[in-house]
Amino acid sequence: MAQVHKYRVKMTCEGCSGAVEKVLNKHKDKIETFNVNLAEQQVKVRTNLPADEVLEIIKKTGKETEHISSSQGDL
């Protein structure tokens, strides 16, 4: 069942958040939906993937990131 994983991601401009969006979009076959919030330095991903697999996808961007929490429900 799909979960919402929440991550802190260090992003300092719209180029940073846009890069995270682009990388997540590359995996949209396995991701239901996501939200990248530059102001809050947060990324939420709704998916069937485990939290650590999504973490590895976000890390590809070269951004500092960490998993905050996972829960059921919508974004």
Residues that bind its own copies (CB under 8 A): 10-16, 18-23, 60-63
Copy the structure tokens of residue 33.
Answer: 């939906």
- Measure the CA angle with vertex 62, ends 18 and 17; round to 5°: 15
Q: In the complex with its own copies, which residue's Cβ is closer, 11 or 49?
A: 11
When computed from its CA atoms, the radius of gyration of the chain, rounded to whole angstroms, is 11
Q: In the complex with its own copies, which residue's Cβ is closer, 50 or 64?
A: 64
Q: Least distance to its own copies from the beta carbon of 75, Å?
A: 20
Question: Closest Cα to residue 51, out of 13, 8, 3?
Answer: 3
Q: Least distance to its own copies from the beta carbon of 56, Å?
A: 11
